[in-house]
Amino acid sequence: MMYGRSVMALNEPLEKITLHQILHLIRQPDQSFINQILNLRRIRALDPRIYSEKKRQLPFFTTSLFNPPYRRKENFVNTQFFIIDFDHVSDHPEQLQQIKSQFFQHPTVKAIFMSPGADGLKLIFELAEPLSDAPLYAAFYKIFATRFATEHQAMQWLDRATHDVSRATFLSYDPDLLSRSDNEKIDIFSFIPPDDLFAIRHEVSQAEKILSETTAPSAHQANDPAPDILQQIKAKLNPNARSLREKNYYVPPEVDEHKEAIVNFFNQNQIEVLEILPINFGRKFVLRAGNLRAEINLFYGKKGFSVVPTPKTGTNTELNNLCRQLLEQYLTSLPTNLPEVPGFLSS
């Protein structure tokens, strides 16, 4: 495992840390950290937007080891632990504690603790052997997390963006953290048939189908009418209005080649991609972190890639700049760090 002081300190190296140390930091931190978490929980009740901003200042840990010690997928060495997040489980402490106890009855749960916002749970599991294959990890994670959540009737709470080896977990405060030393270690090949490509594809496909069927629509999907519906409404209001032609944009293939990888990279950094829109010579990425929104444009031309934040009303300037820096960091890694992985195993 590795420890970092802030997910926003992209160039600060991580430090090695043991699971025992992590659990101690969560169960019995110093008073200043306790005060920080309790203050965060008060803020969350008043303003979730500010809470999301402040939470990103918390220290964090990863279950993976990285060399060099920077939280990037290309630096991944191996992992022997993984975490499943259940978000927005309950705002009632008694009910959350009851659900925590129910989860802990499963013999594979190594430890379980309350999230920084005190409304979710984080479950730590241990693998029988260290795993050094990132795509294989992602495939296993989707299968195991889906089965575990289904078994406990908890799919509605499952965080579906945590299957990447570089995922960060914020430290929290939970004096009632539960842990055990006699947990059952998990053999990934009891979930993924070894040397059976068809079976692996089938298992991953089934897990992804369940995840997609139970995923709630994002805010823009739930609240925004489809373009054709908007056009019908406009036509009723003004039958004589001329219908606007759909604009044609030239999007370089170099941009679309990395579209999926960029989405994954943002997800690794707790940033949700709401939309990817075509623009001339590039793509616009509409992003969200908590209640904050950002928009950045990715262009490709004779001089290569360029990233430009768009200071649109309703977007957050700090998040715009942070997303620009993150995308530039990803692009910098392209020449030597683009692993080729089978599509069905990609994260």
- Bond preceding residue 68 cis, omega within 30 of 0: yes
Domain co-membership, 265 together with 129: no
Domain co-membership, 183 together with 299: no
Distance between CA 253 and CA 255 in Å, rounded?
Answer: 5
Region 163-190 average pLDDT: 95
CATH, residue 325: 3.30.310.240
Instruction: Count the neighbouring beta carbons within 10 Å of the beta carbon of residue 48.
Output: 13
Q: Indicate whether 284 pLDDT > 50.
A: yes
Q: Indicate whether 221 pLDDT > 80.
A: no
Q: Does some domain include residue 242?
A: no
Higher pLDDT, 5 or 232: 5
Q: Indicate whether 200 pLDDT > 80.
A: no
At residue 131, the pLDDT reads: 95
Domain count, the chain: 2
Domain co-membership, 199 together with 268: no
Q: What own/partner pairs with CB < 8 Å and gap ≥ 24 does 202-208 have?
A: 203/139, 203/143, 204/139, 204/142, 204/143, 204/344, 204/345, 205/344, 206/143, 206/146, 207/142, 207/143, 207/145, 207/146, 207/147, 208/142
Q: Does some domain include residue 221?
A: no
Domain co-membership, 67 together with 191: yes
Q: Does some domain include residue 170?
A: yes
Domain co-membership, 266 together with 208: no
Q: Does some domain include residue 195?
A: yes
- Ramachandran class of 290: left when φ > 0, alpha when ψ lies in -120 to 50, beta otherwise: left
Q: Does some domain include residue 261?
A: yes
Domain co-membership, 84 together with 201: yes
pLDDT tens per residue across span 313-323: 788 888 999 99
Distance between CA 343 and CA 138 in Å, rounded?
Answer: 12
| Main-chain dihedrals φ then ψ at residue 241, nearest 5 degrees | -70, 140
Q: Which domain holds residue 298?
A: 253-345
DSSP state of 189: G
Q: Does some domain include residue 227?
A: no
Beta bridge partners of 127: 186
User: Positive or negative CA dihedral for 38, 42, 44, 47?
Assistant: negative
At residue 172, the pLDDT reads: 98
Q: Does some domain include residue 133?
A: yes
pLDDT tens per residue across span 43-77: 988 888 888 889 989 999 999 999 999 998 899 99
Higher pLDDT, 25 or 226: 25
Domain co-membership, 57 together with 136: yes
At residue 343, the pLDDT reads: 35
Domain co-membership, 17 together with 89: yes
| In contact, 255 and 283? CB cutoff 8 Å | yes
What's the predicted TM-score (pTM) here?
0.63
Picking from 136-140, 198-202, 247-251, 257-261, which range would have the lowest pLDDT averaged per residue?
Answer: 198-202
At residue 241, the pLDDT reads: 56
Domain co-membership, 209 together with 268: no
**Mean predicted lDDT score pLDDT of the chain:** 83
Domain co-membership, 161 together with 19: yes
At residue 66, the pLDDT reads: 97
